[in-house]
Every structure is written in structure tokens, then in C-alpha cells.
């Protein structure tokens, strides 16, 4: 029977990263080395024999100060998903029980959206431009499938590189356009929501509406919030959060005018609220805000505060390490969103000659530490994802096919 679609069951429910200059993420337990290098013993690696293995009492890390080089599958793309996927790929004890996703004793490599201008994803593979954002990640996966040349949108990255077979999974914080003949398969990862971070004291800046955001991001003449001029910030081109945010406020790339285009919108790296200036706003994934507060991710809040785009409903509840997603906000049909891991459809179809049983298992939500698991026991990947601000995908959401990115 074909297994083209991975379904999300209703109610179903780190300690390295892919950064070029990597530090241990909060919640990690790393054994120090006299020279400052994190060491993994062969015995430790051997314990990670299959997907679904859970390690308790100690943590596993990738070498410090370098991107990973995958021994099996490589993952790239969305900034929104990078920390949680890296946590699962490298191992994390953020729930109190170390959880790690591996494939038959081989590690997987998840590359952050930012870092050096280039990455090397597989042993002896080419150096190619770092995929920064959902769009870039899906494009890199598409070029890995069809063998056409790939150029990253990251500044200073190598141009026109052939990367056949170098990217196996793309992280995407935004959905794709369904195409039942498409070569890609979007597999549900978790439920997120879009809110915004702000800095300032303008009256009403903490609870803006979609129409106010539209006017603000389209630089409407004379538009102010509480009588104060507010600077809008937007993530870099290719960001899934940028794409979703503009669509949800009813604007477009054409209507929005950046500073470089003679407008008012400042472009920058998504989810970095340390770049906010006095009286400014920026789209923010609620999941990233939760992770910054719980200590699961690096803290890039700066002096910013999280604002709500749903009247009377806060995006998160609790404070500090007790912060969790607000299910009511995440369930909102406008501002809530499902996120995805994207793979080649043929590799998920058991009737296809390209079917990859190990890759299927890595994305099978019934497996306890599979990347797509949503169970919330401390030994399951779903519990890790909740610490990083993700809830289970919307009930009934299933995998679907999408055409490759041109």
C-alpha cells in the first residue's frame, strides 16, 4: 500500500546547533574539554542506534565552533524552526529527559539559517550558499532533487553551485500551494502563531490590528500609532514569517516599501528583537518568543515586548521558564499557522523505487523521537517542541504535495 501521506493523529501530541560560531544552547549539558572542545565518545554515539532512541541522564553534542556535516540526512531553511529541529538533531535535555533523533546510528545535521555565507552539508560535498529562510530551504531541496544550479539568497554566498543530493529536508514555517503532481511533500511539524515584538510606549502599540499593520507597513502618509511615528521592521526576503505576515495583514511585497525602495520598512534577520529601536515593531513567531523565555533558545528579546494581533487574547501565558503557548491564540484561523518539514515525495512513497524507509521513519509522528512526533511525555519529541513554543499540528492536517521551487 502506498505510504505517500504521513498523517498527524488528533490529540497526539539540544545539545548542539548548526551555527558557525556555536555555543551550547540553554538546557544543554556538555562535558568540558581542556581545550574547550566538546567531545562525543564512540560509545555514546553507538547508543543512538535508531530513530526513536531516547537517552537519559546525559546529553550529546556536535563539535563546537562549526556547522555539522551530516552522516545521513541534512536539513536547512526556516529560522522559525531552526532551534527546535537542531535540538532534536543534536540531542537536548530541555524536558529533563534527553531526547535525540538519529537514523541507524548515523547523526542528522540541521543547519541554521544564519552563520557563515556557505555550508558543507555532506562529507566531501560542495560548499554552497547557506539557505536562509523557508523559501531558500525549499529551493535548496528542489535543486538537490533536480540537479539544477543553486544560488542562495544570503549575501556573499557562492553562486550557481550544483548541490544534487545535499539537502534532504527543508524547514518551512509557511505552507505551500497544493499540487497533487508535485515532487515535494509538506509534512506537518507543529502549530505556531504569528504575533509581533515591539519597543516603545505609544498608546495602543501593544495591541495592533491587521488594518493598522497594513497601513504601517505600506508607509501610509501621516499614519501614526497613538500620535507617535512607529518604525516597521520586516524579516529578510525568503522568510516564511515575512510571507505569512504580509498575507495576513492584507499586503504584498509590491505594496510594502522598504527603506532601500524609498519607503519606511527596515529589513533585518527575523526573530532578532535586539535590533528594535525606540517606537518600532517587527513580526515575531510566538514559538520563538516562548523558547527565548524558557531558555530553550538564545535570548534575542532585547528590551522588546510581545504584542497581540487577536483582540483580548495573549499569544502566550506564564512567564520565564513557565511560559507556554496560548492554545486560544494558536487556534486563531488568521494568526495561527501550521509549520512543515519538506521532503521529496518519492522518498515517502513505498511503491516508488526512490522510497527511503529511514527517512520515512524519521518523519513518522508515531515514532517517539521522530522530528514530527507531538506526544508530550518528557521522553518524546513533542515535549521538546512544546518547550520551544510549538503545539501539535491542527487536527486533521495531513501531508500534501507541492511543486518544486523554480
Domain boundary among 307, 330, 353: 330
Q: Phi and psi (nearest 5°) for 175? A: -80, 165
Mean pLDDT of 392-396: 95
The strand ranges marked E within 200-345 are: 231-235, 266-268, 280-285, 305-307, 316-317, 324-325, 336-344
Residue 69 has pLDDT above 60, yes or no: yes
* Contact criterion met (CB below 8 Å) for 184 and 178: no
Who has greater pLDDT, 3 or 282? 282
pLDDT in tens, 38-62: 333 333 333 333 344 333 332 333 3
pTM value is 0.81
Same domain? 67 vs 95: yes
Same domain? 351 vs 225: no
Who has greater pLDDT, 107 or 365? 365
In angstroms, rounded to a whole number, what is the distance separating the alpha carbons of residues 21 and 266? Answer: 26
The DSSP call for residue 13 is -
In angstroms, rounded to a whole number, what is the distance separating the alpha carbons of residues 292 and 51? Answer: 28
CATH no. for residue 269?
3.40.190.10
For CA atoms 284, 286, 290, 291, give the dihedral sign: negative
Q: pLDDT band at residue 65, thresholds of 50, 70 and 90?
A: very low
Residue 83 has pLDDT above 70, yes or no: yes
* Contact criterion met (CB below 8 Å) for 172 and 341: yes
Same domain? 185 vs 199: no
Q: pLDDT band at residue 398, thresholds of 50, 70 and 90?
A: very high
Q: pLDDT band at residue 66, thresholds of 50, 70 and 90?
A: low
Q: How far is CA 225 from CA 14, 42, 206, 208, 263, in A?
A: 40, 58, 10, 9, 18
Bridge partner residues of 336 (DSSP):
193
Range of the domain at 381: 42-189+338-402
Same domain? 301 vs 215: yes
Residues with Cβ within 8 Å of residue 193, at least 6 apart in sequence: 285, 286, 287, 315, 325, 329, 330, 332, 335, 336, 337
Q: In percent, how much of the chain has pLDDT > 70? A: 84
* C-alpha cell, 370: 521522530
Q: In percent, how much of the chain has pLDDT > 90? A: 72
pLDDT in tens, 174-208: 999 999 999 999 999 999 999 999 999 999 999 99
pLDDT in tens, 326-338: 999 999 999 999 9
Same domain? 299 vs 160: no
In a domain, 108, yes or no: yes
In angstroms, rounded to a whole number, what is the distance separating the alpha carbons of residues 241 and 230? Answer: 20
pLDDT at residue 50, as a whole number: 37
Supply the mean pLDDT for the chain: 84
Q: pLDDT band at residue 236, thresholds of 50, 70 and 90?
A: confident
In angstroms, rounded to a whole number, what is the distance separating the alpha carbons of residues 170 and 182? Answer: 15
* Contact criterion met (CB below 8 Å) for 338 and 244: no
Same domain? 322 vs 353: no
Same domain? 142 vs 167: yes
In a domain, 305, yes or no: yes
Q: In sequence order, what DSSP letters do the residues of 117-159 get, joined into one string?
A: SEE--STTPPPEEPPBSHHHHHHHHHHHHH--EE--SSTT---
Residue 298 has pLDDT above 90, yes or no: no
In angstroms, rounded to a whole number, what is the distance separating the alpha carbons of residues 28 and 321? Answer: 15
Mean pLDDT of 299-305: 92
In a domain, 32, yes or no: no
Mean pLDDT of 93-114: 90
In a domain, 3, yes or no: no
CA distance between the termini of the chain: 31
Same domain? 167 vs 213: no
Residue 308 has pLDDT above 80, yes or no: yes
Domain boundary among 301, 330, 359: 330
Same domain? 262 vs 312: yes
In a domain, 19, yes or no: no
Residue 320 has pLDDT above 70, yes or no: yes
Length of the chain: 406
Same domain? 58 vs 115: yes
In a domain, 279, yes or no: yes
Same domain? 345 vs 289: no
Say how far residue 266 (Cα) sits from the centre of its chain: 22
Q: pLDDT band at residue 152, thresholds of 50, 70 and 90?
A: confident
Number of domains in the chain: 2
Q: pLDDT band at residue 163, thresholds of 50, 70 and 90?
A: very high
Domain boundary among 305, 330, 355: 330
In a domain, 372, yes or no: yes
Element housing 329 (H / E): helix 327-330
Who has greater pLDDT, 68 or 367? 367
Instruction: Give the CA diameter of the chain.
Output: 65
Q: How far is CA 69 from CA 20, 49, 111, 119, 277, in A?
A: 12, 18, 9, 9, 37
Mean pLDDT of 139-166: 93
Same domain? 120 vs 215: no
In angstroms, rounded to a whole number, what is the distance separating the alpha carbons of residues 213 and 249? Answer: 6
Amino acid at each position: 500500500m502506498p505510504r505517500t501521506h504521513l498523517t498527524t493523529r488528533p490529540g497526539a501530541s539540544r545539545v548542539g546547533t548548526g551555527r558557525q560560531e556555536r555555543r551550547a544552547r540553554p538546557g544543554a549539558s556538555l562535558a568540558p574539554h581542556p581545550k574547550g572542545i566538546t567531545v562525543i565518545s564512540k560509545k555514546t554515539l553507538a547508543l543512538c542506534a535508531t530513530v526513536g532512541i531516547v537517552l537519559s541522564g546525559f546529553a550529546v553534542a556536535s563539535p563546537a565552533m562549526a556547522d555539522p556535516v551530516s552522516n545521513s540526512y541534512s536539513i536547512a531553511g526556516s529560522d522559525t524552526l531552526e532551534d527546535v529541529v537542531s535540538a532534536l538533531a543534536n540531542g537536548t535535555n530541555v524536558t529533563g529527559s534527553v531526547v535525540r533523533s538519529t537514523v541507524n546510528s548515523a547523526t542528522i545535521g540541521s543547519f541554521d539559517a544564519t552563520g557563515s555565507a556557505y555550508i558543507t552539508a555532506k562529507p566531501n560535498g560542495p560548499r554552497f550558499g547557506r539557505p536562509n529562510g523557508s523559501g531558500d530551504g525549499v529551493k535548496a531541496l528542489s535543486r538537490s532533487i533536480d540537479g539544477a544550479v543553486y544560488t542562495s539568497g544570503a549575501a556573499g554566498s557562492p553562486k550557481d553551485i550544483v548541490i544534487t543530493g545535499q539537502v534532504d529536508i527543508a524547514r518551512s514555517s509557511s505552507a505551500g500551494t497544493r499540487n497533487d503532481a508535485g515532487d515535494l511533500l509538506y509534512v506537518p511539524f507543529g502549530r505556531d502563531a504569528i504575533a509581533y515584538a515591539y519597543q516603545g510606549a505609544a498608546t495602543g502599540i501593544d495591541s495592533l490590528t491587521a488594518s493598522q499593520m497594513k497601513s504601517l507597513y505600506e508607509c501610509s502618509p501621516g499614519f501614526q500609532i497613538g500620535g507617535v511615528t512607529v518604525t516597521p521592521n520586516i524579516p529578510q526576503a525568503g522568510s516564511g514569517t515575512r510571507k505569512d505576515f504580509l498575507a495576513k495583514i492584507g499586503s504584498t511585497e509590491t505594496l510594502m516599501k522598504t527603506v532601500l525602495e524609498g519607503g519606511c520598512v527596515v529589513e533585518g534577520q527575523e526573530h532578532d528583537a535586539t535590533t528594535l529601536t525606540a517606537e518600532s515593531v517587527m513580526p515575531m513567531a510566538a514559538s520563538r518568543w516562548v523558547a527565548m523565555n524558557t531558555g530553550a533558545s538564545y535570548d534575542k528579546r532585547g528590551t522588546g515586548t510581545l504584542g497581540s494581533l487577536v483582540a483580548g487574547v495573549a499569544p502566550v501565558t506564564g512567564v520565564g521558564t513557565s511560559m507556554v503557548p496560548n492554545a486560544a491564540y494558536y487556534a486563531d484561523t488568521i494568526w495561527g499557522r501550521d509549520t512543515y518539514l519538506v521532503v521529496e515525495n518519492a522518498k515517502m512513497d513505498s511503491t516508488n523505487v526512490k522510497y527511503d524507509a529511514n527517512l520515512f521513519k524519521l518523519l513518522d509522528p508515531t515514532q517517539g523521537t521522530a522530528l514530527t512526533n507531538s506526544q508530550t511525555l518528557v521522553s518524546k519529541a513533542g515535549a521538546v517542541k512544546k518547550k520551544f513554543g510549538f503545539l501539535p499540528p491542527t487536527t486533521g492536517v495531513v501531508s500534501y504535495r507541492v511543486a518544486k521551487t523554480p
